[in-house]
Structures are given as C-alpha cells and as structure tokens.
Amino acid sequence: MRLLDGRSMAADIGRSVVDDVERLAATGVTPTLAVVLPTADEAARSYVRVIERGAAKVGVGCAVHELTGDPDELTATVDRLAADPAVHGMIVQTPLPDGLTAADVGARIPVGKDVDGMNPLSLGRLALGLPAFAPATAAAVLEILNRAAVPLAGARACVIGRSSVVGKPAALLLLAEDATVTVCHSRTKDLATVAHDADIVVAAVGRPKMVGAGHVRPGAVVIDVGTNWTDVGLVGDVDADAVAPVAGALTPVPGGVGPVTTMLLLRNTVRAAGG
C-alpha cells in the first residue's frame, strides 16, 4: 500500500509558490490573503494559525481579522475587504454568526478573490467548466490524485459526502477529468457495496473511521478528507488500520489532504494577484 504524503506534496507546491511570489515582488506586488475569523471558535483559530505559518514560509501576506460574532460587523468587514485593491484573496472561517449562511457571506466575496470557492457563483462556474477557484479542500483531492499519477479518465470514483465545500465540488472536478463519479450520502442504500465498485474512494462525510475494509476494493485509491477529534486524537473518516491492507494507496490523517489544502489557498492567492 502506497502512502500519499500530503506534507511532501505541499512542500513541492510551496516551492513553486515562492517562485511566483518572487516574480510578483519584482513588479511591486505582494500577494495578500485576508482571513476573516467571525467568532471566537478555537478550532477555527487553530486552523488560521496554520494558514499564517504557511503564508510566512512562502512570502504571502496574511491579514487576520478577528471579529466579535456580530453579523453586521462580519458583512461590513467582508464588503470592505472585497473593495480593497491591496487584498487579493479572501476566506471567511466558520462557524458563522447566527442568522448568516455560507452562501450569504460567500456571495459578498468577489469571484476573483474567492480563493476558497465560498461564493455560490464560483461553484456554478465550476459546474459549467468556467474559470473559478474551487474550494481548496476539494481541489486538494484532485491535486493529490494528479501528483500521485492516478489515472482519472474512465476511472470509477465514489465520493462519500455531498457538502458544497468538499463532496459536490470534488465530484465536479473529477467529472472534469473524465472520471465516472458516484456521489453517496447518508441515505445511500448499501453504501459499502457502492463504494467497493470504485477505483477511487473519496471520504468526506465527517464521521470518524466510517469507511472500512468492506468499502474498498483491492488496489483502490482512498483519499481521506475527514478531520475528526476523538479521545485518541485526530482521525479521518477512514479506518486506516483496516483499509491499509486492502487499498492500493491512502492519504494519512493528519498529513494528507490538510497540508495540501493550506498550500492551495496560498497558491490561489498568488494567482489572484496575477502570479
């Protein structure tokens, strides 16, 4: 079984991002990402610190805006950053204040600055095959598969999870690569049998160790998007110990999709700045 090391892939992406940042710096441009933290949620704060560290390594400016949980303050901040020409990329962390949805807030982010695909227009453009930034986690799934040289054209892919953040955009990205995609969810009958037919299984359901050996055909590639905190620490949606003897390749948790996601946010910011 091949372990798909997201940390080494992220480091490789980071080296190319540094080159692009240096080219932009020669023109007087510093790619800048604005991160909006709407509430005092510790998990969100922790992730933002990861983004800050990654940005510092590659030379991307990262401005964190910590808010009080007031909906009006959030919309005003997003509108201000959207109009600021010095800001090239924007992300808004969840959870959001009561009364606001991700679609409400995302619609206020210009598509050109929407480096995490939060604007519904970005998802619509993705569905139509038009230029747009995909949600970074979904894009990380494809990045890992491509860097691992996994054949996608004609492959059968099963995406477990239908969120607008991962499942749906990951399915669209796989379709764009000519994979045959099945999207499964909580109401899918006989999920294990459906998943077992796939060459590629993407687990993005948010339930610890839900995907076991019975979901995976011998030699299948398994991408574990899950990040679930349990009594034993951080685990994925895949029971790695059970699946490893069966799968042909597997992303670890931690160290798989997560590092690639962070670096793609920064790469998107550089591209939004013209890099």
pLDDT of 155 strictly over 90: yes
Residue 81 CB partners (closer than 8 Å, separation 6+): 34, 36, 65, 87, 90, 113
Q: Where are the beta strands (DSSP E) in the chain?
A: 2-3, 32-37, 61-66, 89-92, 156-160, 180-184, 200-203, 221-224, 228-230, 233-235, 249-250
Tokens encoding 61: 């400016």
pLDDT tens column, 177-211: 999 999 999 899 999 999 999 999 999 999 999 99
CATH of domain 136-257: 3.40.50.720
Same fold yes or no, 28-112 and 136-257:
yes
Q: Answer for the pair 135, 141: CB distance below 8 angstroms, yes or no.
A: no
Tokens encoding 31: 């790619």
Work out the mean pLDDT of the chain and round it to a whole number: 97
pLDDT of 275 strictly over 90: no
Taking residues 103-130, what's their average pLDDT? 97
Beta-carbon count within 10 A of 192 CB? 13
pLDDT of 236 strictly over 90: yes
Could you tell me the residue ranges of all domains in the chain? 28-112, 136-257
Show binding-site residues. 161-163, 227
pLDDT of the residue at 177: 98
Residues 180 and 153: their CA atoms lie apart, in Å, by 8
* Beta strand pairing call for 228-230 and 180-184: unpaired
Show binding-site residues for NADP(+). 161-163, 227
Taking residues 92-116, what's their average pLDDT? 97
pLDDT of 233 strictly over 90: no
* Topology of domain 28-112, CATH: Rossmann fold (3.40.50)
Confidence of residue 104 (pLDDT cuts 50, 70, 90): very high
pLDDT tens column, 49-79: 999 999 999 999 999 999 999 999 999 999 9
Taking residues 231-253, what's their average pLDDT? 95
pLDDT of the residue at 181: 98
Better pLDDT: 229 or 122: 122
pLDDT of the residue at 232: 82
Beta-carbon count within 10 A of 93 CB? 21
pTM for the predicted model, two decimal places = 0.97
